[in-house]
Amino acid sequence: MRLTVIGTGYLGAVHAACMADIGHDVLGVDTDSGKIAALAAGRAPFFEPGLPEILIRNTRAGRLRFTTSLQEAADFADVHFVCVGTPQRADSLAADLRHVEAVVDGLAPLLTRDSLIVGKSTVPVGTTRTLTRRVTSQVRPGVDAEVAWNPEFLREGFAVQDTLRPDRLVVGVTSPHADRTLRDVYEPMLRAGVAYVSTDPATAELVKVAANSFLATKISFINAMAEVCDASGADVVTLAEALGHDARIGRAFLSAGLGFGGGCLPKDIRAFLARAEELQVGEAVSFLHQVDQINHRQRRRTVDLARHLLGGEFAGRRVAVLGATFKPDSDDVRDSPALAVAAEIVAQGADIRVHDPEGIDNAQLVLPGPSYCTDVMEACRDADLVLHLTEWRQYRALDPVKLSQVVRAPRMIDARNALDPALWREAGWHVRALGRPVHV
Ligand code: NAD
């Protein structure tokens, strides 16, 4: 099939490459000509494991091309995936839909054949209905364009495998034709047994927002427990393990620490709060305010613990920050808890050195002040305190003995509860973590 993917960021570039990889002819579209030039040359414009390989394979095979022209997109295909950003609005908690609207307004008048516009971006419930009116009022006479929603659940760092082998596909459609078209698009996945939930657009839109709200709630729940552990001397890591054995609860998303960030969970729960208010059911989901607040409190608690370990003052102290991205295996620093902590510590007078395996370029744009190091040892040299803020695999493999030889004082906060504290203590480190007793 011929498909276009409009918006080739973290979601769209992966979607475009994966759709080509399962055999479709794909045209990726973006307004960012730099991104389009990189993609067209087979270069991923961001770090995502596995993406470079499928980009090269499919651009070389001629199944995957890129353009900045919506006209070319309208001419090329009858199925258009919309993958543009839906960030938080500057003036409220709500989602800013201007990019989605710009795509629809640009594309609809250019369509010359019956078409299916499939949204993949995360949007407030009711968006498909609004966009349908927008499209219908702008298409040429005789052209029928349907809007469907097919939310995306991929995780950065696992985006390629999540796209090729998703847990489920959810489509929100208003006609059997749209359902059939999307079944054809995803035929290889359906053949492999991937669950396919076909429903109305409102339910599909809500599945995504509800899933992210649930995941965010789970993280904030365990972080709230971590705070109770700190007050009572209990250990949140053992607590999470014991809770996780209960099949009704499950261990995933029960890792206490610095909390969630990134371009999705924080803005998605806020947009949900705003949309629920509009629908006059704000009270029903008001707990999400707490989820957001608990999440932010972990950043403050980490800064407070760091200041405490340094004797009450950051001024004149050197702090090594391990991790800048919002999660490992990504270069994404959007709403990164690690960078938020780093920024606060800088603001309070610390001299910090930041290491990250992939996120330094993006981090420098957001937080230009500190020194950035490509070598962990360099970042930790003469540090009075080391903060482990993003759980990259390579930090778990660090040798605490070697690291203790370069720091000024072997003090560590493992804000992700990802290191083995016994190992570090054996090497002479004073290790602290949120939700864990001092002696663990
Ligand atoms: P992103 O900012 O990385 O990418 C958005 C892209 O859209 C950019 O390249 C931008 O240049 C492009 N764009 C903006 N306006 C455009 C226009 N008018 N025409 C063409 N291109 C345009 O964002 P992202 O992380 O890929 O997220 C996109 C959407 O997918 C969001 O709604 C997000 O919530 C959702 N989502 C993201 C992820 C993820 O892990 N990143 C996962 C699931 C869902």
pLDDT at 166: 98
75 and 142 part of one domain: yes
- 68 Cα nearest atom in ligand 1: 20
Catalytic residues: 264
26 and 173 part of one domain: yes
pLDDT at 196: 98
Residue 119: helix, strand or coil by DSSP? strand
Please give the mean pLDDT across all residues of the chain.
97
**Could you tell me how many residues make up the chain?**
440
193 and 213 part of one domain: no
218 and 186 part of one domain: no
Say if ligand 1 is within 6 A of residue 10 CB: yes
Per-residue pLDDT of 117-139, as tens digits, reads 999 999 999 999 999 999 999 99
From atom 20 of ligand 1, which residue's Cα is the shortest distance away? 30
Share of the chain above pLDDT 70, in %: 100
User: How many domains does the chain divide into?
Assistant: 2
Per-residue pLDDT of 286-302, as tens digits, reads 999 999 999 999 999 99
**Residue 37 lies in domain:** 2-199
141 and 187 part of one domain: yes
296 and 352 part of one domain: yes
Give the global pTM.
0.96
- 32 Cα nearest atom in ligand 1: 11
Whether 147 and 201 have beta carbons less than 8 Å apart is answered as yes
From atom 27 of ligand 1, which residue's Cα is the shortest distance away? 85
Confidence of residue 232 (pLDDT cuts 50, 70, 90): very high
- 156 Cα nearest atom in ligand 1: 40
Q: How far is the CA of 8 from the centre of ligand 1 (A)?
A: 7
Handedness of CA 351, 357, 361, 365 (dihedral sign): negative
Q: How far is the CA of 316 from the centre of ligand 1 (A)?
A: 41
Tell me how far apart the alpha carbons of residues 260 and 335 are, in angstroms, rounded to a whole number.
Answer: 9
Tell me how far apart the alpha carbons of residues 434 and 299 are, in angstroms, rounded to a whole number.
Answer: 10
Say if ligand 1 is within 6 A of residue 84 CB: yes
Which of 199, 229, 252 represents a domain boundary (last residue)?
A: 199
Mean pLDDT value across residues 194-204: 98
Best mutation site among 8, 10, 117 for ligand 1, i.e. most ligand atoms within 8 A of its Cβ?
10
- 267 Cα nearest atom in ligand 1: 34
Residue 348: CATH number of its domain = 3.40.50.720
Say if ligand 1 is within 6 A of residue 35 CB: yes
User: Is the per-residue pLDDT at 103 higher than 80?
Assistant: yes
Which of 199, 221, 244 represents a domain boundary (last residue)?
A: 199
Best mutation site among 4, 14, 29, 30 for ligand 1, i.e. most ligand atoms within 8 A of its Cβ?
30
Say if ligand 1 is within 6 A of residue 67 CB: no
Q: How far is the CA of 28 from the centre of ligand 1 (A)?
A: 12
From atom 11 of ligand 1, which residue's Cα is the shortest distance away? 32
Mean pLDDT value across residues 87-98: 98
Which of 199, 224, 250 represents a domain boundary (last residue)?
A: 199
> Alpha-carbon Rg of the chain, whole angstroms?
23
Per-residue pLDDT of 298-331, as tens digits, reads 999 999 999 999 999 999 999 999 999 999 999 9
User: Is the per-residue pLDDT at 439 higher than 80?
Assistant: no
303 and 382 part of one domain: yes
From atom 32 of ligand 1, which residue's Cα is the shortest distance away? 121
What are the beta bridge partners of residue 82? 6, 119
No. of helices (H) and no. of strands (E), the chain: 19, 14
Interface confidence (ipTM) of the complex:
0.99
pLDDT at 438: 87
161 and 231 part of one domain: no
| Tokens matching residue 36 | 């389009």
pLDDT at 388: 98
From atom 4 of ligand 1, which residue's Cα is the shortest distance away? 9
From atom 35 of ligand 1, which residue's Cα is the shortest distance away? 121
167 and 215 part of one domain: no
187 and 218 part of one domain: no
- 100 Cα nearest atom in ligand 1: 18
Relative orientation angle of helices 201-232 and 236-244, to the nearest 10 degrees: 140
User: Is the per-residue pLDDT at 87 higher than 90?
Assistant: yes
Judged on CB neighbours under 10 Å (0-12, 13-18, 19+), 234 is: middle
CB atoms within 10 A of CB 188: 13
224 and 182 part of one domain: no
Confidence of residue 369 (pLDDT cuts 50, 70, 90): confident
pLDDT at 440: 52
Q: How far is the CA of 44 from the centre of ligand 1 (A)?
A: 15
User: Is the per-residue pLDDT at 104 higher than 80?
Assistant: yes
CB atoms within 10 A of CB 252: 9
- CA dihedral defined by 127, 195, 177, 180, rounded to 10 degrees? 150
Q: How many CA atoms lie within 13 A of 2 on its CB side?
A: 10
Between residues 369 and 149, the one the model is more confident about: 149
210 and 68 part of one domain: no
DSSP state letters, 313-370: --TT-EEEEE--SSSTT----TT-HHHHHHHHHHHTT-EEEEE-SS-HHHHHHH--SS
